[in-house]
Structure formats: C-alpha cells, structure tokens
C-alpha cells in the first residue's frame, strides 16, 4: 500500500479584521483521505488581545462541493490559535477526515487585524 500526502492552500494571504471571519471559497474533497492535518499561519498585530479560531465545516449531504457555510452552522472540527502579539504564528493540528467536502473558516478573536492569514490542508490518502 502506497500512501501519498497532498497539501492544498485553502485560505491564501487574507487580512481578517478585528472580530471578523473569512471562509474558504473552495471546498476540499476528502474522498479516500485517511488523515488530515490543518495548519494556520498569520501575523498578529502588536496591540491585539486575543488569538484566532480555525473551524472546519462539512457539506451535510456529502454530495455538494459548492455548499455554503452559514453563520449559525456548527463546525465538524476546530482549532484554537493563541495570539502572539506582533509576531507571525503557525500552528498545525490533526482534524477529522470523515466528511466528503469541507471548507474552513478563520475567526479573529482579537481587537486588531490579523494579516497574511493562510490555512493549509495536508491530506494523506491511499
């Protein structure tokens, strides 16, 4: 059995305002995935007071790659990122890979913008 790992950029170089959110426009197909690592990278303003949250949402039907993430939807998985005032922070975490199509949303929990926000998804498949 040969395993492969593929990294996909789900969110690229975004600025997220204080208290704001950004959701990936494209979905990720997890068909055949056996493992999923999600990584956050972003630069926190020196005056910020809180970190960020990365959430993964799935299509409830499992058939629609163009599904929408609603403001009241519950995430399938989540990762908290502690703030590093004035620094670029990166954090990887293992996420569930049981759904077919997923999207990611980053929420800025702080009082200042986060710049250069990236979310990467590394899928391990057979």
Rounded-to-5 percentages of helix, strand, coil across the chain: 0, 55, 45
Q: How far apart are CA 108 and CA 102, in angstroms?
A: 20
Nearest partner of 53 among 25, 75, 26, 85, judged by Cα = 75
Please report the domains of the chain, with CATH numbers, ordered by start residue. Answer: 4-125 (2.60.120.380)
DSSP code string of 60-84: TTS--TT----TTPPPSEEEEE---
Query: Which pLDDT value is given to residue 66?
Result: 95
Query: Which pLDDT value is given to residue 3?
Result: 87
pLDDT tens by residue, 88-115: 999 999 999 999 999 999 999 999 999 9
Mean pLDDT across the chain = 96
Q: How far apart are CA 120 and CA 63, in angstroms?
A: 23
For the record, the structure tokens of 70 come out as 């609603």
């Amino acid at each position: 059995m040969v395993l492969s790992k593929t990294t996909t950029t789900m969110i690229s170089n975004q600025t997220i305002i204080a208290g704001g959110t950004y959701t990936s426009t494209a979905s990720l197909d997890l068909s055949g995935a056996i493992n999923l690592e999600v990584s956050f990278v972003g630069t926190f303003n020196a005056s910020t007071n809180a970190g960020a949250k990365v959430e993964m949402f799935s299509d409830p039907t499992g058939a629609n790659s163009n599904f929408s993430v609603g403001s009241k939807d519950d995430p399938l998985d989540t990762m908290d990122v502690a703030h590093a005032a004035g620094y670029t922070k990166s954090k990887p975490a293992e996420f569930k890979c049981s759904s077919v199509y997923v999207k990611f949303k980053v929420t800025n929990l702080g009082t200042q913008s986060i710049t250069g926000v990236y979310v990467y998804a590394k899928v391990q498949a057979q």
